Structure 1
Amino acid sequence: MRRTLSLAALLCALTWGVVSANTGVALVHGTGQQSDAYNDYWKSGFVESVRQGLSNSSNLLVVNCNFEKYMWDDAAAGCLTGQLHNFITSKNIDDLVVITHSNGGNVMRWILSNPTWDSRYPTIINNIRWVNAVAASSKGTPLADAVMQGNVFEQSLGWLLGYKSDAVRQQQVSWMEYYNGSWLLGTSGRPALPTGFWNIVGTDVESAIWDSDSYCGGYLENVGLETTQNWLNSCSDGFLNCSSQNGAGTLWFNDTDRTRGDEPLSHNQSRRQCFNLDVILRNDL
């Protein structure tokens, strides 16, 4: 559907002779405080592969913010707003594709849902083509509830979630239900978001020691995610149920519908150069 809409927009632009978009891409990380998301969160291979889809390779922003805070906090949404606004205005970006992962989708949705909160929000919103939300935690995760209750997940998922941070507290299922019903747009029964929010959903985790695909993104991380999958629905990426990943906006695709070899993407693999995900996102630019 979105390809059809893009073609229609292109034909309209050609009719009026106004094809002059300056495309940029912004990579927005998930939970955690990042100072070098290029290397630590996404890894350079993923970033540089996506960059190849740009006609101007310098039009790429890798966001570094403190997403251990609540989504509206100045260290989270405020930081993201500052970096996106500066990127758009300094490079004259008028066609921004945002690629988010996990809780980054919630911070991005806060901006899209509350245009009067900050005077810079409208500039950002008006220049976004769409958001590609990879494994978005739009409806939270039962694992956040488990971490806040202080059980075994606090130790086993520390590398992924952090410890009892505001962001983890925010991603509890009941908390996200409240935010979705009051502050955030895009979920069922709520007004639509002002721009496309397209979900890529991770449906399973594989960690068989004899399967080379299980090592993409880090074998031990995939083993941990397969363990925690036991406390989630059968359709999950080891951290988020599929229903949460597709809880806001519109489904773009489930992993196995598009990936190389129909491989599933664990929550860790969906921010890595695994099974042609990077190529799919590159071609989308």
Structure 2
Amino acid sequence: MNKKIASIVFSFLTLCSVASANQGVAFVHGTGSQTDAFNDYWTGEFVNSVRQGLPNSNNYTVINCDFDQFMWVEAAAGCLASQLNSFISSKNISELTLITHSNGGNVVRWILSNPTYDSRYPQIVSTTNKVIALAPSSGGTPLADAVTQGNVFETSLGWILGFDSDAVKQQQVAWMAYYNDTWLYGTSGRPSLPSTFKSVIGSDVDSAIWDGDSYCGGYFNQVALETTQNWLNSCSDGFLECSSQSAAGTVWFTDKQRTKGKEPLSHQQSRRKCFNLDTILRNDI
């Protein structure tokens, strides 16, 4: 009888603990200086679909910062920290999920890896339950090397990289290897991050004009990404190789394992309502 009562009490306390957690989600964009990431980076249909997975769907925020800068500077990590802390405080968030894309994962990793660097970081570290990193550039990309060196990629990649910004320099392969070995946690041989960091990997690009799936996220974006994919590993999303996307934390899944129709997610499509990605994220949060 005593064991049965103890079991009931434990179950009750567990339910109370879950019920008392005030969950929130923040959408953290990638490279670029954003002022309206809700519409311009993610699109409203993606954000509004994903946030329905929250007990209170109003507990969300969309970050707008200058991620053309090095990850640690005030305009990047400082801006992100201020906006996250404001959200946490105003909504009384006790359990935070961060959904990042591309270079946004690096800025988040900077905060999680360096909690004493800035007085605004500890609250974020203690509140963040998990990071869902969509196509994170954890290991950098050869395309950043190409743009920085000013070769033929510069014109064709300006639309996605923003040319020779500090964020692009940061995402050069050797530079990211240095940061991963010294300042950032979560990669092989380094300390673990203080919260779950799980990645969604984009493995290919489809741009056949007769294939309706090639139009999700914009057909001409697909054509551009398939062009740049020719200079990357065969497993890539047109901007990042799979090995870079999987360099930090753990791999949650590679696109075709869970997407509708086993469709691949290009770098553009991994921040759009494509092939049930939004539903997968909604169910997870």
Give the TM interval when normalised to the shorter protein. over 0.9
Task: State the distance in 2 between where 1:254 and 1:92 align.
Answer: 34
Residue in structure 2 matched with residue 225 of structure 1 by the alignment: 225
1:90-147 deviation line (CA, Å, top 9, x unaligned): 1110111100000000000000000000112111011111000000000000000000
| Alignment match, 1:53 | 53
Please tell me the root mean square deviation across aligned C-alpha atoms, in Å.
Answer: 1.2
Distance (Å, rounded) in 1 between the aligned partners of 2:258 and 2:17? 33
In the other structure, the counterpart of 1:7 is none
Partner of 1:111: 111
Q: In the aligned structure 2, how far is the partner of 1:63 from the partner of 1:270? A: 17
2:156 is matched with which residue? 156
Which SS does the other structure have where 1:163 is aligned? coil
2:165 corresponds in structure 1 to 165
* Residues 125-170 of structure 1: per-residue CA shift (max 9 Å, x gap): 1111100000000000000000001112111111100010000000
Uncovered stretches (5+) of structure 2, i.e. residues with no partner: 1-9
**How many angstroms does 1:196 deviate by?**
0.4
Determine the structure 2 residue equivalent to 1:193. 193
How many residue pairs match? The answer is 275
> What are the within-5 Å matches in structure 2 for residues 55-204 of structure 1?
55-204=55-204
The 3-state SS of whatever aligns with 2:17 is coil
Q: Indicate yes or no: 2:208 matched with 1:208.
A: yes
Structure 2 counterpart SS, 1:227: helix
* Letter aligned with residue 243 of structure 1: S
Residue type of the alignment partner of 2:208: A
3-state SS of 1:130 partner: strand
- Counterpart CA distance in 2 for 1:17 and 1:253 is 31
User: What residue in structure 2 maps to residue 4 of structure 1?
Assistant: none
Q: Which structure is larger by alpha-carbon Rg, 1 or 2? A: 2
Q: TM-score, normalised by structure 2?
A: 0.95
Distance in 1 (alpha carbons) for counterparts of 2:11 and 2:132: 24
Q: TM-score if structure 1 supplies the norm length?
A: 0.95
Alpha-carbon deviation of 1:15?
Answer: 4.0
Deviation at 1:213, TM superposition (A): 0.2
Give unpaired runs (5+ residues) of structure 1.
Answer: 1-10
Deviation at 1:16, TM superposition (A): 7.7
The structural deviation recorded for 1:53 is: 1.1
Match of 2:205, SS state, is coil
Shift of 1:239: 0.1
What CA distance in whole angstroms lies between the structure 1 residues aligned with 2:48 and 2:169? 33
